[in-house]
Amino acid sequence: MRKKEGRFWVCGLVAFCLAGPIRLSAGDRKDPKAVEVAQALRQALGGDDAWQKAHFVRFDFIVAQGPATLVDRSHLWDQWTGRYRYEERLKDGRVKIVLFNTATKKGQVFLGGTRVPDGEAKRDLDDAYAAYINDMWWLAMPWKWMDPGVNLKYLGSTTRGHETDDEVELTFNHVGLTPGDRYHALVSRKSHLMTHWDYVLQSHEKGSWDWEYGETHGMKLASNHRSSDGKTTINMGVVRVLDAIDDAFFTDPARRLAELK
């Protein structure tokens, strides 16, 4: 977890590519029962074909505690080319816009409508890339279980409320911005969706969140998260997977993602 505004940085895998078949690596440790749970989870989310057809992904990352909004970020990703638009509303009311490519991490930064000189933009570009990794993890982590570098260990069944879940531990093989993170994920035996995660990060910080889902373009992605103490929510906005958009969203800082319906 990165200690920035709101303390809601949980960085996931660096190579976050939605499309493509399940890939295994010789160094991964995935036990058979955990793989069975992961494959059922992926089908419940919409299946491999839905991922392969995804082109543009639009979502938000809004952290709230009671009436207070702690973090307000918006994202648009062209996952076929890596083009990215990142918008962040700062505490002083200004909007920061970063237009970059996730493959090269290069691009342009605009603050309050004014372009930041290239020589001063690196920190903002790095922060936008970290936000892409972090926020996408909160959006789509359940799709990532079978990626190379992810270890899966089945921990047995557990009961929360009236529902029985399969518990799976996820650890990582030298991948991601924080490979020392450890997740315990609960997958409903009824819906086969991941409904909850507990994590201990390599920074030793802990978290416990319930997951809620919405459906777009034939696939399920996170719509909202609630902390176990009930005090905090992380809302993903109106999540959409789109087949086509105006390219100006990746080039024109005057546009706003709120316009993209």
Task: Give the per-residue pLDDT at 257.
Answer: 96
- Coil, strand or helix: which one is 176? coil
pLDDT tens string 11-61:
554 445 544 444 555 578 999 999 999 999 999 999 988 877 889 999 999
| Full residue range of the structural domain in which residue 229 is found | 25-256
- Whether residue 109 is contained in a domain is answered as yes
- Whether residue 18 is contained in a domain is answered as no
- Whether residue 11 is contained in a domain is answered as no
Task: Give the per-residue pLDDT at 8.
Answer: 56
Q: Give the amino acid at 89.
A: R
- Whether residue 2 is contained in a domain is answered as no
- Whether residue 124 is contained in a domain is answered as yes
Residue 7 has pLDDT above 70, yes or no: no
Q: Which tokens belong to 215?
A: 């459906």
Number of folded domains in the chain? 1
- Is the separation of the CB atoms in 179 and 173 below 8 Å? yes
What mean pLDDT is reported for the chain? 89
- Whether residue 88 is contained in a domain is answered as yes
* Percentages (nearest 5) of helix, strand, coil residues in the chain: 20, 40, 40
pLDDT band at 183 (very low <50, low <70, confident <90, very high): very high
- Whether residue 167 is contained in a domain is answered as yes
| Closest listed residue to residue 211, CA positions, set 134, 138, 145 | 138
Q: Which tokens belong to 16?
A: 């976050």
Q: Which tokens belong to 118?
A: 């290239």
pLDDT tens string 88-112:
999 999 999 999 999 999 999 999 9
CATH no. for residue 227? Answer: 2.50.20
| Closest listed residue to residue 202, CA positions, set 223, 164, 224, 171 | 171
- Whether residue 15 is contained in a domain is answered as no
